[in-house]
């Protein structure tokens, strides 16, 4: 049996790679528009970067690829981008920057040992940002805006922004106690995960996929925010209104990672093509992560978009109309390929993407190749062309054909391209 990809991992074949690169290019453009710099952190880190004491998230407790080599330190393939970026922020003392907040973006592979299904893989790609070093509702709204307008610019329909607040530490602490009190009588009816979460992180019970519509969850009390936390959330909503970003407040939105505080958000798709994995991206504010990682007390906020989920939607909504094209295809009719090869290389040196025939096939076969490769120009080289140092140039759009001197070829091609688009 030939080898196959490991369960939950996929090849991205050239056709899809073009689309992935388009998504990445547009994301990089958005990073630039909003003043974010790109960062790359290692694929694996010390396990402690991701795993904090008393962590209850599924990602940390069940899904990490953790290993050690030769019985040395415990290492983990990164399951998400935020922890590594914050480790780097602290390690490189970026908190000392004269310009805060520090705005960082990343386009990276992540690894989680989840049950694979459409839109859920064991290796996947996230496009993410982290804005670290300041706490201000303006920033929360701007972070959401970057992600939202990125998705809108792609042209996706049926997008819903859900937001919530997990409050400040005082509101959360009070709420936790209330929830423990509320859920304890229902303990035996909750799923095993929620029974484990009850003491440590009862908030997560609220958005459990299994207990979601149980009486226990439906009758759960709502969070009472402190005045400061309520005001902060009102301001975030106000700025979203100013920016014209439609949103729904979902007071059951908790998010699956433990580090969130105050604002949390998700962008979901209502397109049925996304199946059960409708969340395109999610994020939120984290007040304590920088300090937990050994840095000063500084807040941050960010999000991450799942590229594979985005791709499913973009394909379902026929967002991409991409066809790989090349500028020139060189048809060689001579025994000796030297002249054709030189012409091809001269064209590439002048930035015209070029392919040539390697096998001296029939004229017809070579023309077919040029069509399959969507060449804009075909250059035909026979004996006459070699002897007169010319090429026969065919414009596949206008169908016009002409003889061009070798030294004038690049200029002529540039002229034809320009004329056509005028």
Q: Which residues here bind ligand HAM, judged by CB under 6 A?
A: 80-82, 112, 114, 119-121, 124, 126, 128, 130, 256-257, 279-284, 302-304, 306, 308-309
Closer of 41 and 82 to ligand HAM (Cβ): 82
Closer of 112 and 394 to ligand HAM (Cβ): 112
**280: which 2 tokens?**
């395109």
Give the C-alpha distances (Å, rounded to integers) separating 156 from 31, 122, 142, 266, 313.
Answer: 19, 25, 20, 15, 8
**Residue owning tokens 């009816």:** 189
Q: What is the number of helices (H) and of strands (E) in the chain? A: 15, 16
Exposed (0-12), middle (13-18) or buried (19+): which is 248, by Cβ within 10 Å?
Answer: exposed
d(C-alpha 416, C-alpha 321), whole Å: 24
The least distance separating ligand HAM from the CB of residue 26, rounded to whole angstroms, comes to 16
Closer of 60 and 378 to ligand HAM (Cβ): 60
Residue nearest ligand HAM, CB atom distance: 306
Strands (E), 231-278: 248-249, 261-269
Question: Under a CB-based contact definition with an 8 Å cutoff, are residues 110 and 81 in contact?
Answer: yes
The least distance separating ligand HAM from the CB of residue 204, rounded to whole angstroms, comes to 13
The least distance separating ligand HAM from the CB of residue 21, rounded to whole angstroms, comes to 18
Alpha helices in 219-271 (DSSP H): 227-242
The least distance separating ligand HAM from the CB of residue 159, rounded to whole angstroms, comes to 13
The least distance separating ligand HAM from the CB of residue 300, rounded to whole angstroms, comes to 8
The least distance separating ligand HAM from the CB of residue 416, rounded to whole angstroms, comes to 44
d(C-alpha 190, C-alpha 198), whole Å: 9
Alpha helices in 92-167 (DSSP H): 137-154
User: Is the preceding omega at residue 119 within 30 degrees of 0, hence cis?
Assistant: no
Closer of 265 and 377 to ligand HAM (Cβ): 265
The least distance separating ligand HAM from the CB of residue 333, rounded to whole angstroms, comes to 50
Closer of 186 and 265 to ligand HAM (Cβ): 265
Contacts 24+ apart (CB under 8 A), 394-399: 396/370, 396/371
Closer of 59 and 409 to ligand HAM (Cβ): 59
Closer of 256 and 382 to ligand HAM (Cβ): 256
For residue 123, the surrounding DSSP H or E stretch is strand 123-132
């Amino acid at each position: 049996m030939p080898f196959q990809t490991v369960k939950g991992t996929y090849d991205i074949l050239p056709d899809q790679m073009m689309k992935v690169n388009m998504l990445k290019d547009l994301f990089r453009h958005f990073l630039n528009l909003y003043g974010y710099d790109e960062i790359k952190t290692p694929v694996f880190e010390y396990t402690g970067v991701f795993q904090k004491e008393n962590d209850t998230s599924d990602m940390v407790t069940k899904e990490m690829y953790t290993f050690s080599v030769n019985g040395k330190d415990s290492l983990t393939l990164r399951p998400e981008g935020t922890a590594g970026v914050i480790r780097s922020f602290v390690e490189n003392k970026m908190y000392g920057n004269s310009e805060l907040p520090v705005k960082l973006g990343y386009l990276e592979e992540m690894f989680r040992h989840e049950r694979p299904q459409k839109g859920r893989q064991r290796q996947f790609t996230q496009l993410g940002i982290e804005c670290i070093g300041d706490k201000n509702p303006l920033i929360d709204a701007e972070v959401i805006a970057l992600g939202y307008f990125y998705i809108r610019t792609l042209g996706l329909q049926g997008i819903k922004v859900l937001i919530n607040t997990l409050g400040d530490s005082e509101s959360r602490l009070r709420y936790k106690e209330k929830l423990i009190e509320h859920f304890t009588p229902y303990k035996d009816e909750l799923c095993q995960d929620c029974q484990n979460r009850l003491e440590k992180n009862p908030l997560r019970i609220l958005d459990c996929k299994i207990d979601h519509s149980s009486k226990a969850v439906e009758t759960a009390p709502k969070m009472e925010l402190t005045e400061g936390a309520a005001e902060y959330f009102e301001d975030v909503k106000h700025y979203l209104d100013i920016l014209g970003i439609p949103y729904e407040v979902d007071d059951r939105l908790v998010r699956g990672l433990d580090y969130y505080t105050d604002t949390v958000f998700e962008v979901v798709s209502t397109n049925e093509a996304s199946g059960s994995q409708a969340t395109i991206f999610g994020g939120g504010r984290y007040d304590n992560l920088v300090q937990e990682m050994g840095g000063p007390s500084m807040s941050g906020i960010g999000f991450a978009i799942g590229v594979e989920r985005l791709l499913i939607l973009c394909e379902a909504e026929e967002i991409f109309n991409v066809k790989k094209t090349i500028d020139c295809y060189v048809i060689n009719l001579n025994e000796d390929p030297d002249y054709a090869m030189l012409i091809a290389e001269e064209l590439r040196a002048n930035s015209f993407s070029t392919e040539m025939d390697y096998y001296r096939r029939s004229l017809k076969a070579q023309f077919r190749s040029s069509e399959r490769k969507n060449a804009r120009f075909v250059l035909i080289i026979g004996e006459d062309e070699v002897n007169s140092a010319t090429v026969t140039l065919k414009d596949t759009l206008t169908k016009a054909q002409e003889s061009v001197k070798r030294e004038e070829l690049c200029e002529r091609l540039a002229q034809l391209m320009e004329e056509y688009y005028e």
